[in-house]
Amino acid sequence: MTKKPMYRQIADVLREKVQRGELKPGDALPTESALQEEFSVSRVTVRQALKQLTQEAIIESIQGSGSYVKEERVNYDIYQLTSFYEKLADRNVETHSDVQVFEAISADETLADKLQLAAGEKVWHVKRVRFIKQKPVTLEETWMPLALFPDLTWEVMENSKYHFIEQVKKMVIDRSEQEILPIMPSAEMVSLLGLDANRPILEKISRGYLSDGRVFEYSRNAFKSDDYKFTLVAKRRG
């Protein structure tokens, strides 16, 4: 009987540790050097084992940090209007936002129509990458009327936009009208989110409304489909 290649034996050992609960979702795997020493193999062999487990969606690699047991995908309940931070509140994980663009621009006719403004009115244009731990999972591009939020800051957008609107501005958010589409990622998305350029992803296009009917944002969000699942409850009419 042919003996399994060493990289597969290492993958089997690590997989069994995950299945037994010795390694839990979010736990860091031993470093490549530690695995080399433990199994008396080369770095190439260790990397083959880790690659196999990555392909099986058992672990994931975070650049500059290491390999981790893959966590359950974030459940994006379409019927619950919650912020990025609120969706992860029960996870007790570190999150942050890296603001790439923060600028005031003049709305062209298309953008003005989305925000129910007159063409030429000033709007905030913000682009930010959302992280779970040190892993980029979402690229969000948002446009917001400057007249509604003249005091919006870079620091606000590094944290929770909804907290600012509701707790600081004391505005009441009513609803978000959303559309979810499969798209091919742009070069920017590939670079910022570490995506496969040849694999489709999901994009959510949304308009947010205040209780008085005003549009407070128009957003486009690109999601890593490996990290998100979209759910809804559909009821049949009687």
pLDDT one-digit tens code per residue, 60-78: 777 667 787 777 666 655 5
Q: How confident is the model at residue 230 (pLDDT cuts 50, 70, 90)?
A: low
What does the pLDDT read at residue 187?
Answer: 94
Domain end marker among 69, 92, 123: 69
Contact residues for 212 (Cβ-Cβ < 8 A; gap 6+): 172
What does the pLDDT read at residue 27?
Answer: 78
Pair (64, 78) in one structural domain: no
The whole domain housing 64 covers 6-69
Residue 54: both structure tokens together? 């990555």
- CB neighbours (10 Å) of residue 34? 11
Pair (132, 40) in one structural domain: no
Pair (110, 207) in one structural domain: yes
Q: How confident is the model at residue 228 (pLDDT cuts 50, 70, 90)?
A: low
Per-residue pLDDT for 89 more than 60?
no
Residue 36: both structure tokens together? 């080399």
What does the pLDDT read at residue 86?
Answer: 53
Per-residue pLDDT for 84 more than 60?
no
Domain end marker among 69, 101, 124: 69
DSSP 28: B
Rounded mean pLDDT, 146-174: 94
Q: How confident is the model at residue 235 (pLDDT cuts 50, 70, 90)?
A: confident
Residue 157: both structure tokens together? 């957008």
Task: Write out pLDDT tens, residues 4-18.
Answer: 888 888 888 888 888
Pair (65, 151) in one structural domain: no
Of 143, 120, 115, nearest in space to 214 by CA: 115
What does the pLDDT read at residue 184?
Answer: 93
Residue 218 lies in a domain: yes
Q: φ and ψ at 169, to 5 degrees? A: -80, -15
pTM to 2 decimals? 0.68
Q: How confident is the model at residue 96 (pLDDT cuts 50, 70, 90)?
A: confident
Give CA–CA dist 205/213, Å, rounded.
18
Domain end marker among 37, 69, 101: 69
Pair (18, 133) in one structural domain: no
Which residue did the predictor score with more confidence, 47 or 72?
A: 47
Longest dimension (CA), the chain: 75
Of 170, 155, 154, nearest in space to 103 by CA: 154
Residue 1 lies in a domain: no
Cβ proximity of 180 and 217 under 8 Å: no
Pair (60, 123) in one structural domain: no
Q: Identify the CATH number of the domain in which residue 170 sits.
A: 3.40.1410.10
Q: φ and ψ at 68, to 5 degrees? A: -135, 155
Give CA–CA dist 93/27, Å, rounded.
12
Which of the given ranges, 124-128, 173-177, 226-230, has the highest pLDDT on average?
124-128
Pair (93, 203) in one structural domain: yes
Cβ proximity of 184 and 214 under 8 Å: no
Pair (118, 158) in one structural domain: yes
Task: Write out pLDDT tens, residues 102-116.
Answer: 999 999 999 999 999
Q: What percent of the chain has pLDDT over 70?
A: 84
Of 220, 232, 214, 231, nearest in space to 175 by CA: 214
Per-residue pLDDT for 28 more than 70?
yes
What are residue 220's DSSP bridge partners?
Answer: 141, 205
Q: Identify the CATH number of the domain in which residue 53 sits.
A: 1.10.10.10
Query: Angle CA(116)–CA(101)–CA(142) in degrees, nearest 5?
Result: 30
Pair (140, 22) in one structural domain: no
